[in-house]
Structure 1
Amino acid sequence: MFNPQMGVSLHTLSFDINDSLVELVSKSGIKTLELFSRLFLENTDRVKAQIHKFDKNALRVATIHSDFWGADISSADDEAREKSIQSAFFSIELAVEFGASAIVLHSSKEPIAPEERSIRKKYAADSLRIVSEQAASKGKKIAVELLPRTCLGNTVEELFELTQGLSEDAVGFCLDTNHLMDKPFMLPDVAKTLGKRLIATHLSDYDGVDEKHQVPGTGVIEWGPFMEALKEIDYQGPFNFECRFADTDDIAARIAMLESSYKMLAGYL
């Protein structure tokens, strides 16, 4: 039964993983976390120690988001592509350490010109195969994210194309509710089409103009039909908020905004 528990991409609250953040999150209604792999690129041991302070009986690390700032598994440069694959392997090791079930992965960076799309899709598909096999060997899945604009995997059809032939037991998808851009009305149908292969979400609202990742309830997305779609497919993955907070740097205030938004979304069920 679809029973969403509030989750958050931790780096959207703060990139400084300190005792204060751990305490605020632990006292909140947050039940699952997504960890961005870049959190661990500096002061790795200290950051890991902070994450391990969370009570695993009360709060679960659900997903690791592999690097998408400096990595591109579709790169035409062999060395860059291999480094990106190794970056994804690092995320898999983080998933093992923290007990996350899946690694969220982007198929490419952007922009991608029309004339290079075909070869970039080949590189991305090859990389996804390699990463998914490594993840499966560790008992983990990869969640390939629906992306916007010219990125690879910017439609459901292309997500299926990129992962064709890969085990459904090892590969699913992540739906970012901002990434349909000017077609937010398609969210319920996209969720239904992905069905049981939808294993992760990035929840945020769209402003009708650009990808702003607003807190749900502050933009143009109609959340009732989307929540009904998740209920229809009996979605069991993390109900994860990935938002930007332009109005406040205060972590407690950010958490309060998410808690209010979560209550609003749960009210549709």
Structure 2
Amino acid sequence: MTYHIENTDPANWKVGTYWDVSEGIDLADLKSADLDCVELTLRCESPRQVESVRQEYEMVVEQIRKFGLELWSVHIPFGQEWDISTIDVSQRRLIVDAIAKLIEIAAEWHPKHAIIHPSFEPIPSEEREERIDACRESLRELSEFSISKGIRLAAECLPRTCLANDSKELLALISDSPECGVCCDVNHLFLESPEDFIRKLGNRITTLHISDNDGMDEKHWIPGEGVIQWPEVVRALVEIGYNGTFLFEANYSEARELMNCYNYLLNISSGKDLS
């Protein structure tokens, strides 16, 4: 499958945010703030309980459509129980099969992407290479299955000792998976700048998680509250021809804050004087 770079204008990007059942986010608020898209965070305690997801989220999907919002993506559950890099072969088989079932369920809702964490943490240094191999195989299998269901899997860059904590490692993880995209979470990048990561991954980046940090650990602040150089981030996205959704994964009080932030980022990235 070939993905080519197209002309892109940040002013034409769709704008979205995540929806998590644990946070009581008001879909009406998102619509009234003129957001376009939603990423649905799927919560499921165990790979053995995936059938509960359909019933739990079908009503949410109906509400998303009722408010005229697009279901841009779903986020696969994450944590130790869902670690696709585990070196326990039987446990990894259980996890991969459960994620495939979740993707099959989500396909009924027609999202474009399924976001997946390449690992949990901590990752012991002596296990890292073996876990990279295990994760690479999981991503290959799941990305092929996702495409068959009309969804593109996107491996998310992660912080600290997690797998995929820099561009080189993430490229290695998806080297056998041409169908696998990348979710660039700028809040997770500390071994290189987000703009450098974006330029190195290029058009493998198919979706975003947007928030700010303090340069030391993830914070999920609204852009402008931390140290990320946002004009550089937006310019790098333009350079690679990004045409997806500008999807916030930031803490906020009202959805209008996100649209105000997006418009602010457009202005500073174009060099307009905001004084």
Sort the TM-score into its range (normalised by shorter chain): 0.7 to 0.9
* 1:226-248 deviation line (CA, Å, top 9, x unaligned): 11111111201221111235xxx
* 1:70-94 deviation line (CA, Å, top 9, x unaligned): 3100112233312321332133124
The answer on whether the counterparts of 1:105 and 1:144 sit within 8 Å (CA) in structure 2 is yes
Counterpart Cα distance in 1 of 2:225 and 2:145: 39
Using the TM superposition, name which of 112-121 and 71-80 deviates more.
71-80
* 1:198-249 deviation line (CA, Å, top 9, x unaligned): 101100001233211111111111101111111111201221111235xxxx
State the partner residue of 2:78.
Answer: 68
The amino acid that maps onto 1:239 is F
The answer on whether the counterparts of 1:4 and 1:266 sit within 8 Å (CA) in structure 2 is no
The amino acid that maps onto 2:204 is R
Q: Which contiguous aligned blocks of 4+ residues in structure 1 show a shift greater than 3 angstroms?
A: 39-44, 55-58
| Residues 1:237 and 2:247 aligned together | no
* 1:10-50 deviation line (CA, Å, top 9, x unaligned): 12xx5266xx8232223222101111121788674253123
State the partner residue of 1:30.
Answer: 35
Distance change >3 Å, CA 29–CA 95, structure 1 → 2: same
State the partner residue of 1:54.
Answer: 64
Please list every run of 5 or more consecutive structure 1 residues that lacks an aligned counterpart in the other structure: 246-252
RMSD: 2.2
The TM-score normalised by the length of structure 1 is 0.86
| Residues 1:263 and 2:260 aligned together | no
Counterpart Cα distance in 2 of 1:135 and 1:46: 21
The amino acid that maps onto 1:48 is E
Please list every run of 5 or more consecutive structure 2 residues that lacks an aligned counterpart in the other structure: 1-7, 45-49, 271-275
* Alignment equivalent of 2:137, drawn from 115, 120, 126: 126
User: What SS is found at the alignment partner of 1:254?
Assistant: coil
The TM-score normalised by the length of structure 2 is 0.84
Alignment of 1:118-267 (within 5 A): 118-167=129-178, 170-181=179-190, 183=192, 186-245=193-252, 253-267=253-267
Counterpart Cα distance in 2 of 1:134 and 1:179: 27
Distance change >3 Å, CA 143–CA 45, structure 1 → 2: same
State the partner residue of 2:106.
Answer: 95
Counterpart Cα distance in 2 of 1:42 and 1:25: 26
Indicate the percent of aligned positions where both proteins have the same amino acid. 33
State the partner residue of 2:3.
Answer: none
* 1:106-130 deviation line (CA, Å, top 9, x unaligned): 1110111111111111111111111
The amino acid that maps onto 2:36 is K
Counterpart Cα distance in 1 of 2:149 and 2:239: 31
Distance change >3 Å, CA 84–CA 43, structure 1 → 2: closer
Counterpart Cα distance in 2 of 1:76 and 1:153: 17
The amino acid that maps onto 1:67 is P
